[in-house]
């Protein structure tokens, strides 16, 4: 017989066990979000392909044709796609998980389940979009007859890093949003500025050496450089950025989980 004790402070000793019991809810919530997203749309799932294509087209035009900020030795759309892929994933995951708890307020104040499921499901939903974009990019690679280097085997590691960044950031932002709706205004700001302080539409070598350390504190710098390295074979001019990203990501996750767990108990009271 599973006995549960609810008590102030240590009410959730069985938290991780619960999380396991509710593991299917991750899937169900992500499934719901994907289903709902394309209901009552005319072109439906085609949006998942349309959005990255359009973004790549515009970024290529602006940064490669007008700005000439992209190295010449790769097809420009491919180079930009490599940066946009993880960035778009992070940006959507961050924004969606940020608002996820608040938009599921009804559920949170009426039913018990580990609240962690909600923002994580949003990250999973965005990850599905990411995978669709990956397929499109493989189409680009075939079109340009581009053969990826052996380093492509490392791609899953960088995908994991991207996922971890979105996960940690999502925990922070969603928990903060429950209490301080101010973050509703901060999220678009982060997403917009992040695009410029990450090497999405230009290459890392353009960042002057004295700024590279500070620049690398943005965990997406390591992730995006990793994608370029694994897919295109573009060397990272500042390999230390991988390590820095790794440390920053771990830090975000550890503090994110701690903060989330701490505030989670009062979600139902303040949401």
Partner 1 sequence: MSETIIEVKDLSKCYRIGRNTSKGDGLRHVLESAVRAPFAWLKPEERKQRARTEDFWAVRDVSVEIKRGEMVGIIGRNGAGKSTLLKLLSRITEPTKGNIRLRGRVASLLEVGTGFHPELTGRENIYLNGAILGMSRVEIKRKFDEIVAFSEIEKFLDTPVKRYSSGMYVRLAFAVAAHLEPEILIVDEVLAVGDAEFQKKCLGKMEDVSQQQGRTVILVSHQMPAIQNLCTRCLLMDKGQLIMQGGTDEIVNSYMTKGAALATEGLVDREDRTGKGNVRITSIDLRDPDGNVIHEAISGHDVVLSLGYETKDGAEVNDCVFCVEVAKDLKNYFSLSSALVDRRPLSVRGRGRIDFLVPNWPLMGGRYHINFYVGSNKGVEDYLNDASVIDAIDGDFYGTGKLHHEGWQGVSVLVKHSWTKHEEG
**Binding region for partner 1 (CB under 8 A):** 1-8, 11, 21-22, 24-25, 28-29, 31-32, 35-36, 39-40, 106-113, 179-183, 265-266, 268-270
Q: Output the smallest distance, CB 206 to partner 1, in A.
A: 35
Do the beta carbons of residue 204 and residue 83 sit within 8 Å? no
Do the beta carbons of residue 101 and residue 118 sit within 8 Å? yes
Q: Output the smallest distance, CB 186 to partner 1, in A.
A: 9
Nearest to 234, CA basis, from 86, 76, 91 = 76
In whole angstroms, give the CA distance from residue 135 to residue 85.
11
Shorter beta-carbon distance to partner 1: residue 33 or 203: 33
Shorter beta-carbon distance to partner 1: residue 141 or 190: 190
Q: Output the smallest distance, CB 179 to partner 1, in A.
A: 7
- 3-state class (DSSP) for residue 14: coil
Q: Output the smallest distance, CB 182 to partner 1, in A.
A: 4
Shorter beta-carbon distance to partner 1: residue 65 or 265: 265
Shorter beta-carbon distance to partner 1: residue 23 or 65: 23
Dihedral sign, CA of 168, 174, 176, 181? Answer: positive
Q: Output the smallest distance, CB 122 to partner 1, in A.
A: 14
DSSP string, 142-167: HHTTPPP-GGGGGHHHHHHHHHHHHH
Shorter beta-carbon distance to partner 1: residue 24 or 50: 24
Nearest to 257, CA basis, from 157, 163, 161, 175 = 175
Do the beta carbons of residue 114 and residue 22 sit within 8 Å? yes
Shorter beta-carbon distance to partner 1: residue 36 or 131: 36
Q: Which two tokens stand for residue 18?
A: 């619960």
Q: Output the smallest distance, CB 5 to partner 1, in A.
A: 5
- 8-state DSSP, 234: P
């Amino acid at each position: 017989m599973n006995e549960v004790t609810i008590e102030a402070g240590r009410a959730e000793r069985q938290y991780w066990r619960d999380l396991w019991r509710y593991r299917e809810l991750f899937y169900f919530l992500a499934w719901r979000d994907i289903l709902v997203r394309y209901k009552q749309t005319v072109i439906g799932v085609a949006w998942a392909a349309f959005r990255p294509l359009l973004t790549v087209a515009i970024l290529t035009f602006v940064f490669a044709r007008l700005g000439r900020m992209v190295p010449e030795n790769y097809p420009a759309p491919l180079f930009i796609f490599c940066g946009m892929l993880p960035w778009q994933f992070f940006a959507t995951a961050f924004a969606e998980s940020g608002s996820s708890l608040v938009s599921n307020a009804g559920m949170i104040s009426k039913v018990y389940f580990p609240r962690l499921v909600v923002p994580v499901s949003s990250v999973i939903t965005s990850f599905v979009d990411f995978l669709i974009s990956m397929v499109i990019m493989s189409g680009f690679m075939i079109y340009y007859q581009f053969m990826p280097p052996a380093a492509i085997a490392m791609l899953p590691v960088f995908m994991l890093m991207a996922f971890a960044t979105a996960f940690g950031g999502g925990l922070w932002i969603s928990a903060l949003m429950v209490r301080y709706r101010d973050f509703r205004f901060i999220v678009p700001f982060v997403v917009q500025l992040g695009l410029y302080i990450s090497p999405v539409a230009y290459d890392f070598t353009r960042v002057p050496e004295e700024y590279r350390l500070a620049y690398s504190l943005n965990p997406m710098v390591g992730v995006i450089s990793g994608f370029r390295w694994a897919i295109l074979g573009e060397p990272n001019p500042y390999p230390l950025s991988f390590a820095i990203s790794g440390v920053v990501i771990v830090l975000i996750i550890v503090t994110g989980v701690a903060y989330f767990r701490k505030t989670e108990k009062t979600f139902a009271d303040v949401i």
